[in-house]
């Protein structure tokens, strides 16, 4: 009998992490676009992009170093909330957020930078508030790029393996996500079980990408072509 808990854990992890990644990524991207100091911009961009370039296990190593029982944040949580982050379910979310963040942030930033700055100035001279300009002009026109960043980030979060293994481990029913389950089953020689998981993950991935692509394409078509 296949244990379906990895599917629920993965869905929960991927959904919560994309929620966090999406909004934080959006805010960070916007802040960096607005930033005037070029040196700070380059340094911050480097830090935010690093998880994309580093091997996942190296990111996991850093995360363990920060969130582990002796790490600054990990020890803080143990002391004040008596909560151990490492090897708990939230750890899978942390790993997924950190690993998927660069994709969201970079896509959103690129999309914001593509928006003609005259549009923002036009909004200002027409009396629009900065809040309205952000949502109705910057965000709305960057939306296709932002959504495709979201798709990539979601897919990355769903498939996260290396950093998750390092920080959250592979505890059945708790931190065993789909990719973990596939690995565990194969390692145990249960190819049939692994295949079930593979089918599910391919199906979910395809559905998500199809839905988001469809939305993006439709929106884009509406204003870009006749």
Min dist CB 136 to another protein, Å, is: 8
Stretch that binds another protein, among 88-96, 102-110, 139-147, 193-201 (CB under 8 A): 139-147
What phi, psi does 35 have (nearest 5°)?
-65, 135
Min dist CB 226 to another protein, Å, is: 5
Q: Does 126 bind another protein (CB under 8 A)?
A: yes
Q: Which residue number, 80 or 223, has a Cβ lying nearer to another protein?
A: 223
Q: Does 34 bind another protein (CB under 8 A)?
A: no
**Are the CB atoms for 60 and 163 separated by under 8 Å?**
yes
Q: How far, in Å, CA of 74 to CA of 87, rounded?
A: 11
Number of residues that bind another protein (CB under 8 A): 22
Q: Which residue number, 14 or 137, has a Cβ lying nearer to another protein?
A: 137
Residue by residue, DSSP assigns the chain as ----HHHHHHHHHHHHHHHHHHHHHHHHHHHHHH---HHHHHHHHHHHHHHHHS-HHHHHHHHHHHHSTTSHHHHHHHHHH----TTSHHHHHHHHHHHHHHHHHHHHHHHHHHS-HHHHHHHHHTT--HHHIIIIIIIHHHHHHHHHHHHHHHHHHHT--HHHHHHT---TTTT--HHHHHHHHHHTT-HHHHHHHHHHHHHHHHHHHHHHHHHHHHHHHHHH--
Q: Does 213 bind another protein (CB under 8 A)?
A: no
Q: Which residue number, 70 or 136, has a Cβ lying nearer to another protein?
A: 136
Q: Which residue number, 37 or 118, has a Cβ lying nearer to another protein?
A: 118
Q: Does 141 bind another protein (CB under 8 A)?
A: yes
Q: Does 216 bind another protein (CB under 8 A)?
A: no
Among 19, 69, 122, 207, binds another protein (CB under 8 A): 122
Min dist CB 35 to another protein, Å, is: 18
Q: Does 129 bind another protein (CB under 8 A)?
A: yes
Q: Does 116 bind another protein (CB under 8 A)?
A: yes
| Interface positions with another protein (CB under 8 A) | 116, 118-119, 121-129, 136-137, 140-141, 143, 222-226
């Amino acid at each position: 009998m296949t244990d379906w808990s990895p599917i629920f854990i993965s869905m929960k992890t991927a959904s919560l992490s994309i929620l966090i990644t999406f909004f934080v990524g959006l805010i960070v991207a916007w802040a960096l676009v607005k930033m005037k100091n070029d040196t700070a911009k380059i340094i911050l961009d480097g830090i935010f992009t690093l998880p994309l370039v580093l091997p996942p296990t190296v990111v996991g190593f850093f995360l363990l170093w920060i969130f582990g029982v002796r790490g600054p944040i990990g020890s803080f949580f143990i002391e004040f909330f008596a909560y151990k982050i490492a090897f708990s379910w939230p750890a899978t979310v942390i790993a997924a957020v950190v690993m998927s963040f660069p994709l969201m942030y970079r896509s959103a930033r690129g999309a914001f930078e593509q928006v003609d700055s005259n549009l923002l100035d036009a909004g200002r001279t027409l009396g629009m508030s900065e809040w309205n300009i952000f949502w109705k002009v910057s965000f709305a026109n960057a939306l296709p790029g932002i959504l495709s960043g979201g798709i990539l980030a979601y897919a990355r979060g769903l498939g996260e393996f290396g950093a998750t293994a390092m920080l959250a481990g592979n505890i059945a029913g708790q931190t065993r996500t789909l990719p973990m389950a596939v690995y565990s089953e194969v390692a145990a020689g249960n190819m049939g079980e692994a295949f079930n998981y593979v089918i599910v993950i391919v199906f979910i991935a395809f559905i998500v990408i199809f839905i988001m692509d469809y939305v993006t394409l439709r929106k884009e078509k509406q204003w870009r072509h006749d």
